[in-house]
Amino acid sequence: MSRETQTDQTADADLPGEPGAAALPGALPEGLRAELIAFRRDMHMHPELGNQEFRTTAALKHRLEAAGLAPRVLGTGTGLVCDVGTWDGTRPMLALRADIDALPIPDTKTGVPYRSTVPDRAHACGHDVHTAAVLGAGLVLAGLDRQGLLPNAVRLIFQPAEEVLPGGAADAIADGVLDGVGRIIAVHCDPRVDAGLIGLRHGPITSACDRLEITLDGPGGHTARPHLTTDMVTAVAKVATEVPALLARRVDARSGLAVTWGRIEAGHACNVIPQHAELSGTVRCLDLPAWREAPDLVHAAIDEIATLHHAKTQINYVRGVPPVVNDPVITELLRAAQTARRGSYAIEDTEQSLGGEDFSWYLEHVPGAMARLGVRTPGSQARYDLHRGDFDVDEQAIAVGVELFTAAALIDGNPDGNRL
């Protein structure tokens, strides 16, 4: 069975959850469900990299304006912010955040009509699903607002450049997207979790992620006389293997600080010791204190190992993102929302990931939480991991995201909880 057939045959009623659990208004209309799947597919076919999402921004702006809303394009030229309802300035708004950029990798899926049409570009992290879910939630909430059923204004944030360190969230925040916002929520696709389910966790749910680039220099020479040179290949190999081991003894193991290399380069000929070597990778850790200390610790470890081998170093330590730390109260808001829509059985605990997410920058300003959105077809043996060219989703997850967001907005805006 093709992925397309498998997705289209998965009826929402067959997804995990308790039948009849919906107790709130704002269920997703069938026509809008189909429109959002089509929107996601169009976005998937036309992926755009960070800060280049002009087509995606225009499509979102057009659809929101058609619903009578007034979106504002961000000052960077891509991404937008849009309020649903009229904020009276009393209770701060709840924000729903989506990221809209794609990855610079080829789409290797086969047998689906929505494969990327752009060479070496793919929505391989599910941002198209996140975007469709927030768009759908905005359209549903706009309909409720027209009926007088939206208890408080809600802000939609369609953020560019999540995949570009240190992330487009910082630019969005500088552009005022959090003005008037008191809480923020988001989802992230999880291919290990069945569609219909969400994963929740109090506290850290992602890790910090920084980028590390190192160059080593020294006098090269003939491989017959390594004692007269800086043996650069050995030096770069020692940095690659011993720096992570040294850091493991200088940082509390519970912080999970890990240096992992993605590129190493040295030399061009088998009998020439090179004068130059490069390696680059990422630094990840699970908690904020370790992340704050990481640059100094990493610099010291690199210099220590390189000096032993008489290599001079240049280190470019690029700050990325801190961990996403879910606020317990907002996490419970997501739990209440999913329970109202699909029942308590549609929620599972999730572990902390070593992946990075610039949603964390919003949480430096307001409390919030991110849920893992299940995108695996129930019963499927297929495995579609994030950041792989064959990544795909069960599109019924879009409806789950929409109804999670709308329920959260209704519960959050009503002081009596879900008793509307």
Helix (H) or strand (E) holding 59: helix 54-66
- What is the DSSP code (8-state) at residue 247? H
Radius of gyration of the chain (CA): 24
Beta strand 154-159 with 325-326 is unpaired
The answer, as to whether pTM is greater than 0.75, is yes
Report the pLDDT averaged over residues 254-267: 94
Q: What is the per-residue pLDDT across 290-303, written as a single tens digit (0 to 9) for each? A: 999 999 999 999 99
Q: Which residue has the higher pLDDT, 5 or 359?
A: 359
Q: Which candidate, 334, 350, 333, 323, places its Cα nearest to that of 201?
A: 350
132-163 in b/e burial notation, b at 16+ Cβ within 10 A?
bbbbbbbbbbbbbbeeeebbbbbbbbbbbbbb
Q: Which residues contact 269 (CB under 8 A, 6 or more apart)?
A: none
3-state secondary structure of 211: strand
Please list the alpha-helical segments (H only) found in 9-45. 30-45
**Mean pLDDT computed over 37-44:** 98
- Does 368 have pLDDT greater than 80? yes
**Distance in angstroms (rounded) separating the CA atoms of residues 132 and 64:** 12
pLDDT surpasses 70 at 372? yes
Rounded to 5 degrees, what angle do the CA atoms 114, 115, 118 make?
Answer: 120
CA dist 40 and 130 (Å) reads 9
Q: Which residues pair with 215 in a beta bridge?
A: 278, 314
Rounded Cα distance, 11 and 19, in Å = 13
What's the pLDDT score for residue 287? 87
Q: Which of 181-185, 333-337, 414-418 has the lowest mean pLDDT?
A: 414-418
Mean of the pLDDT values across residues 97-126? 97
Q: Which of 171, 26, 168, 160 is nearest to 85 (CA)?
A: 26
pLDDT given for residue 22 in this prediction? 46
What mean pLDDT do residues 47-52 have?
Answer: 98
Q: Return d(Cα 138, Cα 80) in angstroms, integer.
A: 13
> In the chain, what percentage of residues exceed pLDDT 70?
93
- Do strands 93-99 and 154-159 pair parallel, antiparallel, or not at all (unpaired)? parallel
Is the separation of the CB atoms in 153 and 60 below 8 Å? Answer: no
Residue 1's pLDDT band (cuts 50, 70, 90): very low
Residue 19 reports pLDDT greater than 70? no
For residue 3, name the pLDDT band (cuts at 50, 70, 90): very low
Reply yes or no: is the peptide bond before residue 166 cis, omega within 30 of 0. Answer: yes
Q: What is the pLDDT of residue 415?
A: 63
> Mean per-residue pLDDT for 322-340?
97
DSSP state at residue 382: -
pLDDT of residue 13: 47
pLDDT band at 15 (very low <50, low <70, confident <90, very high): low
Answer yes or no: is pLDDT of 420 > 50. no
Q: Which residues contact 225 (CB under 8 A, 6 or more apart)?
A: none
In this predicted structure, what is the pLDDT of residue 414? Answer: 82
Percent of the chain with pLDDT over 90: 86
Of 299, 420, 412, 406, the closest CA to residue 32 belongs to 406
8 has a pLDDT exceeding 80: no
Mean pLDDT of the chain: 92
**Which candidate, 269, 279, 272, places its Cα nearest to that of 235?**
279
Q: Identify which of 125, 261, 240, 254 has the alpha carbon closest to the alpha carbon of residue 190.
A: 125
26 has pLDDT over 70: yes
Q: Across residues 115-135, what is the average pLDDT?
A: 97
pLDDT score of 7 more than 50:
no
Beta carbons of 58 and 77 less than 8 angstroms apart = no
Query: Mean pLDDT, to the nearest integer, of 316-332?
Result: 96
Q: Which tokens is 208 given?
A: 């910090």
**C-beta separation of 389 from 108 below 8 A:** yes
Residue 416: pLDDT above 70?
no
Residue type for 133, please?
A
Question: Which tens digit of pLDDT belongs to each residue from 189-236?
Answer: 999 999 999 999 999 999 999 999 999 999 999 999 999 999 999 999
Is residue 163 within 8 A of residue 50, CB to CB? The reply is yes
> Does the pLDDT at position 399 exceed 90?
yes
pLDDT number for residue 17: 53
